[in-house]
């Protein structure tokens, strides 16, 4: 049994969905308002006792992994791990995986959680935390906000601050292994010098066991837990207590990168902002921890921040998964605007809508909200001063001051380079036209004149489109057991070739009949099967239907939902069919589809005979032409009698 099936069997879909969608019983279904589209009357439901959902309004359907991945904008793999963690299920390790890596990650996670408890306790009760509390009070953070973001303090030994091991010692006394304390980024191992000289035989003496000290850039500082999208602590950020002009200590630092933490991929605050981002379809990108925290305190609960690094393609992909437009709300100084300049091309390449808001009166977003500003005032400021990304780039490139044609072309070339990777032709054309109007340049062929080329769309392989040779059947092919026990391949139409509506209906009749009466599968176990699927997902579903041993309809659907856990598109096809009222009895549906496929086969045979007859005439072979004509006439005579 694979991981998806084990986890799906262990969770209750109704319980999971109820976290996000209030459900109530209505006959044989649990129903509620669909979270995937706006509606006033509930069309979203879960059949009682089943492990799939279906919305009759927007058509979405699938299992618990589909629901979480669609609703939370996470991958199915992330949904699997989230549910496994919640239910204490240990997932199997994939082929070639490091057998010790999962254990190391779990132990490092536990050490981080324990360290967070120590930091929180030190902040709340330790006299050493007085300065930390005073600092946050000066920054106008309320106690409720401090608790919500679990801000803490990492104490240091005042007698030997630079070799302090307060946290490491407490973690080890609590039972955490030394290697886990180091692996999670809390501790640093120092090698001790060997004691004494060479041994009697001249060999080098062994070094004494290493000693651990607290990571230097965390101790004696305010701490901010950095969490993954599921809310688990994976690292810490920290801030020094005093802002001394001659201090060489950095104001803000992060934990070093570990098995759990890669700063180029993590967005601070996303675990808390995700729900509101999904609701508003907008994310506000600020610069630092306190900018995020004060923004949330002021009501801007869609604020997140990159962690001491420029925006990366990984960050852009996270925003794309959330289907959110991006507002860059960065510091008003030159460094903040340069950061926005670097971020815009990366975000635009991910096909994101981007706006830039440059502050005029405040240094940074934290200061804006620390002055008591509200979400409504932010919205008004964005409406007044926010500009489209391309307008921001034009202004930063000197477009407003450019006069001569050479100057304007230079600005155009610099700005256009920011969206050179734009793959959407319509978006690209709109940007070129906007750029031309802003700089008073001719729009026609401007991108070619600038020497730019549009990006090619990446080739995407989904569950229904796998490259050949991956150990599975090629996309669009379904395997049906033949009468001799061998496998018959049912070809699908070439990619991009539309399937005729009549064939779509016939394919759906076959699948619906088998789903409602699995015993009919015996009719299709024939070496001369006329059924040929023209769409990859329906072809794949037919393959699974014929291979699945379950004998009753409910058991068959449940088994297929689990089997297709990693193939959401095919799973969607399944839920569409089982949720749709049948237009006839299963046997009648299959009979009608069978007749249609037989008729199409005869038409294809007739087309082939006509082509061969014409070819024989053109080749000057009257004997062969006469034979092909005879076969064609016989085929048509048989059609007339059937």
At 457-479, the pLDDT tens digits run 333 323 333 333 333 333 333 44
300-339 pLDDT, tens per residue?
999 999 987 688 888 988 888 888 899 999 877 888 888 8
The stretch 587-597 carries a mean pLDDT of 82
- How do the domains of the chain map onto residue ranges? 3-86, 101-192+207-254, 267-392, 397-449, 478-600
pLDDT tens-digit readout, 245-268:
666 778 888 888 888 888 888 999
Question: Are 207 and 194 within 8 A, CB to CB?
Answer: yes
> Taken in order 341, 347, 353, 358, is the CA torsion positive or negative?
negative
126-140, 201-215, 408-422: the lowest-pLDDT one: 201-215
Residue 125: pLDDT above 60?
yes
- The whole-number pLDDT of residue 228 equals 86
Closest CA to 43 of 29, 55, 25: 55
**CA gap 269, 302 in Å, rounded:** 9
User: Does 203 have pLDDT greater than 60?
Assistant: no
DSSP state of 91: P
How far apart CA 357 and CA 385 sit, in angstroms, is 6
Q: What is the mean pLDDT of the chain?
A: 79
**What does 6-58 look like in DSSP terms, one character per residue?**
HHHHHS-HHHHHHTTS--EEETTEEEE--TTS--SS--EEEETT-S-EEETTT
Helix or strand holding residue 480 (H, E): strand 478-481
Q: What is the DSSP letter of 364?
A: S
State the helix-helix crossing angle for 3-10 and 553-563, rounded to 10 degrees: 130
Q: What is the pLDDT of residue 76?
A: 83
Q: E strands within 280-393?
A: 282-286, 303-306, 325-328, 354-356, 387-388
**Residue 454: what pLDDT?**
46
Q: How far is Cα 426 from Cα 147, in angstroms, rounded to an integer?
A: 47
The architecture of the domain spanning 267-392 is 3-Layer(aba) Sandwich (3.40)
What's the whole-model pTM score?
A: 0.63
Choosing among 3.40.190.10, 3.90.580.10, 3.40.50.880, 3.20.20.70, the CATH entry for 3-86 is: 3.90.580.10
Reported confidence tier of residue 157, pLDDT bands at 50, 70, 90 = confident
Instruction: Say what the alpha-carbon torsion angle 399, 401, 406, 408 is, to the nearest 10 degrees.
Output: 20
**Rounded CA gap, 26 and 78, in Å?**
32
* DSSP characters over 566-585: T-HHHHHHHHHHHHSPPSS-
Query: pLDDT by residue (tens digit) across 400-451?
Result: 666 677 777 777 777 777 776 665 667 777 777 877 777 777 766 666 666 5
Phi/psi of residue 246, nearest 5 degrees: -100, 10
pLDDT given at position 196: 52
Distance CA 629, CA 637 (A): 12
The residues, any chain, with a CB within 8 Å of residue 640's CB and separated by 6 or more, are: none
Whole-number Å distance between alpha carbons of 567 and 560: 11
How sure is the predictor about 210, in pLDDT bands with cuts at 50, 70 and 90? low
Q: Cβ(304)–Cβ(267) under 8 Å?
A: yes
pLDDT band at 640 (very low <50, low <70, confident <90, very high): low
Into which CATH architecture does domain 101-192+207-254 fall?
A: Alpha-Beta Complex (3.90)
């Amino acid at each position: 049994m694979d991981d998806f099936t084990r986890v799906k069997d262990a969770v209750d879909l109704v319980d999971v969905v109820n976290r996000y969608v209030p459900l109530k019983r209505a006959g044989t279904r649990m129903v509620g308002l669909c979270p995937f589209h706006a509606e006033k009357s509930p069309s979203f439901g879960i059949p009682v006792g089943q492990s799939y959902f279906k919305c009759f309004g927007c058509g979405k359907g699938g299992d618990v992994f589909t629901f979480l991945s669609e609703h939370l904008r996470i991958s199915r793999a992330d949904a699997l791990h989230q549910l496994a963690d919640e239910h204490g299920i240990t997932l199997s390790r994939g082929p070639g995986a490091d057998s010790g890596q999962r254990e190391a990650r779990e132990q490092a996670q536990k050490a981080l959680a324990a360290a967070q408890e120590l930091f929180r306790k030190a902040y709340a009760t330790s006299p050493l935390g007085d300065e930390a509390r005073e600092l946050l009070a000066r920054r106008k953070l309320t106690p409720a906000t401090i608790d919500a973001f679990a801000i803490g303090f990492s104490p240091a030994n005042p007698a030997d601050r630079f070799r302090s091991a307060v946290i490491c010692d407490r973690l080890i006394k609590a039972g955490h292994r030394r290697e886990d304390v180091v692996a999670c980024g809390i501790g640093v191992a120092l090698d001790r010098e060997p004691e004494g000289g060479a041994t009697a035989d001249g060999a080098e003496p062994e070094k004494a066991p290493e000693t651990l000290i607290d990571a230097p850039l965390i101790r004696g500082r305010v701490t901010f837990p950095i969490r993954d999208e599921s809310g688990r602590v994976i690292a810490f950020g920290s801030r020094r207590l005093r802002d001394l002009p001659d201090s060489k200590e950095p104001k803000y630092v992060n934990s070093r990168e570990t098995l759990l933490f890669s700063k180029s991929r993590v967005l601070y605050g996303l675990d808390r902002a995700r729900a509101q981002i999904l609701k508003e379809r907008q994310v506000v990108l600020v610069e630092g921890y306190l900018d995020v925290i004060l923004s949330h305190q002021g009501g801007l609960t869609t604020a997140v921040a990159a962690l001491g690094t420029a925006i990366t393609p990984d960050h852009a992909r996270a925003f794309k998964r959330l289907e959110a437009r991006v507002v860059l709300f960065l510091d008003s100084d030159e460094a903040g605007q340069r950061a926005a300049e670097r971020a815009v091309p990366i975000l635009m390449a991910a096909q994101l809508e981007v706006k830039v808001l440059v502050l005029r009166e405040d240094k940074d977003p934290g200061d804006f909200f620390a002055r008591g500003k509200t979400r409504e005032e932010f919205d008004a400021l964005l409406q007044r001063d926010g500009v489209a990304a391309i307008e921001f780039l034009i202004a930063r490139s000197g477009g407003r001051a450019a006069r001569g044609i050479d100057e304007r072309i230079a600005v155009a070339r610099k700005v256009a380079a920011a969206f050179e990777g734009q793959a959407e032709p319509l978006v690209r054309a709109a940007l070129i036209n906007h750029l031309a109007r802003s700089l008073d340049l001719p729009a026609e062929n401007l991108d070619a004149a600038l020497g730019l080329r549009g990006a090619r769309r990446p080739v995407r392989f989904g569950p229904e489109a796998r490259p050949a040779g991956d150990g599975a059947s090629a996309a669009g092919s379904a395997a049906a057991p033949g009468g001799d026990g061998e496998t018959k391949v049912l070809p699908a139409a070439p990619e991009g070739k539309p399937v005729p509506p009549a064939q779509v209906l016939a394919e759906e009749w076959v699948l619906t009949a088998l789903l409602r009466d699995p015993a009919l599968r015996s009719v299709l176990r024939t070496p001369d099967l006329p059924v040929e699927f023209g769409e990859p997902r329906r072809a794949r579903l037919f393959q699974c239907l014929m291979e699945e041993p379950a004998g009753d309809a409910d058991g068959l659907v449940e088994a297929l939902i689990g089997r297709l856990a990693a193939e959401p598109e095919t799973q969607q096809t399944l839920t569409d069919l089982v949720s749709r009222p049948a237009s006839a009895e299963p046997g009648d549906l299959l009979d009608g589809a069978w007749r249609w496929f037989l008729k199409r086969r005869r038409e294809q045979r007739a087309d082939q005979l006509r082509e061969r007859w014409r070819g024989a005439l053109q080749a000057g072979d009257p004997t062969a032409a006469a034979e092909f004509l005879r076969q064609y006439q016989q085929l048509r005579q048989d059609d007339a009698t059937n």
